[in-house]
Amino acid sequence: MAMSYLFTAPTSCFARPRKSLRDLSSRLGSQSFLEWELLGKAACEKRGGGQIGKNSLTVFCQQGVVSVARKDEAVSQSFDGSTAQLNIVMKFGGSSVASAERMREVADLILSFPNECPIIVLSAMGKTTNKLLLAGEKAVGCGISHVSEMDELSFVKELHLKTVDELAVDRLIVSGLLDELEQLLKGIAMMKELTLRTKDYLVSFGECMSTRIFAAYLNKIGAKARQYDAFDIGFITTDDFTNADILEATYPAVAKRLHGDWIRDPAIPVVTGFLGKGWKSCAVTTLGRGGSDLTATTIGKALGLREIQVWKDVDGVLTCDPNIHPKAEPVPHLTFDEAAELAYFGAQVLHPQSMRPAREGDVPVRVKNSYNRQAPGTLITRSRDMSKALLTSIVLKQNITLLDIVSTRMLGQYGFLAKVFSIFEDLGISVDSVATSEVSISLTLDPSKIWSRELIQQELDHVVEELEKISVVNLLQGRSIISLIGNVQRSSLILERAFNVLRKNGVNVQMISQGASKVNISLVVNDSEAKQAVAALHEAFFEDGFNAEIQSDDGQSQNGSGVLPYN
Ligand SMILES: Nc1ncnc2c1ncn2[C@@H]1O[C@H](COP(=O)(O)OP(=O)(O)O)[C@@H](O)[C@H]1O
Ligand SMILES: N[C@@H](CC(=O)OP(=O)(O)O)C(=O)O
C-alpha cells in the first residue's frame, strides 16, 4: 500500500525545515505504521516537540511548526505557505503594564510590528505581586472581619477596576476574580495560615487579571486576541511551590495547544507569565519571582520561535544595576552563558533559570525597553564576538554569608569535600561560590534567597552545627559577591585591572572564585565596601574606554576567530 503525506508549512519555515520535511517524507514513506510511529517519536524528540495521532503526525521544527498528516491512499504532498505562523514571543513585565496608559502603549507597540505574529506573555500589573503577598501575610493575623478593609486588597481592586474602566472594557472581566481573591484572603484569615501552596494561588490572581484585561483591550481595538492561563495550557511543573521547575512535558503540550488554536482560529495568544501547574498536586505553582521571563523562553523553545523578546523598563541588560551605579550602560550583546551567570549572581533584570530553554532551543533573546522602543537593547545568543568586550557587566549580590570550613579530620580532600556538600544537600541549601584548598573550603550562601525559599538564621545555625562535627567553621555575615561577567579566558588581564582598582580603593578581597563557566570571576568583599568597589570597577572597565582599548590593542580572542563557541 502506498503511504502518502500531506505537509503544511508556513513560508517562514521554509528556510530550514524544508529539508527536514523531505528527509522525513522519504524516511516515513516506506515504513510500516509502527515504524512510522517510532520515527515520528524520534523526530518529535529531536525537534523539541510534536504529537502523534492515529492518522497524523505533527513535528515542531526550529523555525515554526510543521504539520505532517498521513492521508490514506492518494499520494499528495503540498507546502502551504499562505498561513502566517506564530514566530516570536514578546514578554512584558509588571513595569511595562503598570496602568491603563501603559497597556495602551504596549498594545500599540505590538501592533507596530504588523509582520510579526507574536505570542504575548504578561506579568501582573506593576507591584501587584508584592501587594498580594503582603495582603496574604497581613490576613494571617488580621481577623476575617478586617480583610475587606486591608490597604493592599483595596490597592489591587482599585488598580484593576480603574484600568478596566479607563480601557473601556467590561468590569466583569476582573470582578469575579476580585471577589474570589477576597474570599481567599478571608480563608487565610480564618485558618490563620499561609502555606506556600496558598501563596502561589494568591499571587496567581495578578497575572490572571492582567492578561484578561489586556486580551479584552486588544479585542476591543480590533486585534483579535485570546487569553490563556499557563496552568491550563500545559505548563507542568514540579510541586515546589513558590519556586517550581518547568518539566519536559511542558514543551510539546504548550506547543500543541497554542499552535492548534492558532491553526483553527488565529488570534494573538496572551499568556499568564510566572504560573504553572504542579504535576502531582495539580495546584497552581509559580516559577520564582520574575518567573515570567522563564514562561517566555519556555514558549520560545516549545514552538521553536525565531526570537524571544523580553520588554523591560531599561534599555536592555546594563553593565551594572542602575540603582547601584547610575552610569550603567546597555550591553549590546551577551551569550546565553553570560546572561545566565549574571542573573544567577543577582542581576534582577532576568530570571536566573530563564536562559536554559532559550539556550536549549537556540532561540535568540532580545531584552528591550518598552518605554524607549528605539533603543537597540541587548541581544543574547549562543556566541558573541569576544574581542568586542572583555567585560560585559558587573553584578553585585549583597548580604551573603561566607563560610570558612577547615577540616579537623584526616580525610582525603575528596572525602572532606564530599562530606561538606552532603551536609548542604541534606539541608537543601544551595551554595553560590566555592574556593578550596587541600584541607579547607570557603563558600558563600545567600540568606535572602530571593529566588527560592528563605534561609533563616535557624537553618544557618543548623548548618554550622553539622559542619562542626568534621571541621572548624568560621561564619562571616555581611559580605557581598562582586561578579565580573565577560571573557574569563582573559582572566589575568581582568584580574590585573580589578585588583589594581580595589587596592587603590582600599578594598580587601576575602575570597575569589573562577568557575568552569568561563564567563564569571567572583570576588567576596565586605558589604560596607561593596558599592564603592562596584563604582570604581565600573569606572575602570566601562567609563574610561578600557574595553575599547583592549579591542584595538589586541582584538584577537584566544581562539583567533574572536568568537567564543558555546559548549
Ligand atoms: N544589570 C542590570 N541591567 C538592567 N537592569 C537591571 C540590572 N540589574 C538590576 N536591574 C533592575 O532590573 C529592572 C528590570 O527588571 P524587572 O523589574 O524584573 O523588569 P520587569 O518587571 O519589567 O520584567 C530594572 O528596572 C533595573 O532596576
Ligand atoms: N509578577 C511576578 C512575575 C514576574 O515575572 O514579574 P516581572 O516580570 O514584573 O518581574 C513577580 O513579580 O515576580
DSSP H or E segment with residue 367: strand 365-369
Closest-approaching ligand to the CA atom of 209: 2
Model confidence pLDDT, tens digit, residues 128-138: 999 999 999 99
Q: Is 393 a pocket residue for ligand 1 (Cβ < 6 Å)?
A: yes
The answer to whether residue 4 scores a pLDDT higher than 80 is no
Q: Is 323 a pocket residue for ligand 1 (Cβ < 6 Å)?
A: yes
What proportions of the chain, in percent to the nearest 5, are helix, strand and coil? 40, 20, 35
- Say which DSSP state 516 is in: T
48-57, 327-336, 412-421, 499-508: lowest mean pLDDT where?
A: 48-57
How confident is the model over 386-397, as a mean pLDDT?
87
Residue from 120, 312, 325 to probe ligand 1 pocket by mutation (most atoms less than 8 Å from CB): 312
Residue from 321, 342, 370, 395 to probe ligand 1 pocket by mutation (most atoms less than 8 Å from CB): 321
Residue from 313, 331, 334, 520 to probe ligand 1 pocket by mutation (most atoms less than 8 Å from CB): 313
Residues with CB under 6 A from ligand 2: 93-94, 123-124, 129, 206, 273-274, 289-292
pLDDT-derived band at 518 (thresholds 50, 70, 90) equals: confident
Model confidence pLDDT, tens digit, residues 541-551: 998 776 666 65
The answer to whether residue 73 scores a pLDDT higher than 80 is no
Q: Is 122 a pocket residue for ligand 1 (Cβ < 6 Å)?
A: no
8 Å CB contact between 362 and 300: no
Residue from 130, 211, 235, 289 to probe ligand 2 pocket by mutation (most atoms less than 8 Å from CB): 289
Q: Which domains does the chain have, with CATH numbers?
A: 4-71 (no CATH), 88-313 (3.40.1160.10), 392-554 (3.30.2130.10)
ipTM: 0.98
How confident is the model over 233-249, as a mean pLDDT?
96
pLDDT (0 to 100) of residue 461 = 82
| Number of the ligand 2 atom closest to the C-alpha atom of 207 | 1
Closest CA to 385 of 562, 550, 567, 565: 562
Average pLDDT, the chain: 82
Q: Is 320 a pocket residue for ligand 1 (Cβ < 6 Å)?
A: yes
How confident is the model over 338-361, as a mean pLDDT?
93
Closest-approaching ligand to the CA atom of 345: 1
Torsion sign (Cα): 235, 239, 240, 242? positive
8 Å CB contact between 296 and 121: yes
Amino acid at 536: A
CA of 549 to the centre of ligand 2 (A): 38
Q: Which residues contact 452 (CB under 8 A, 6 or more apart)?
A: 242, 243, 288, 430
pLDDT (0 to 100) of residue 65 = 40
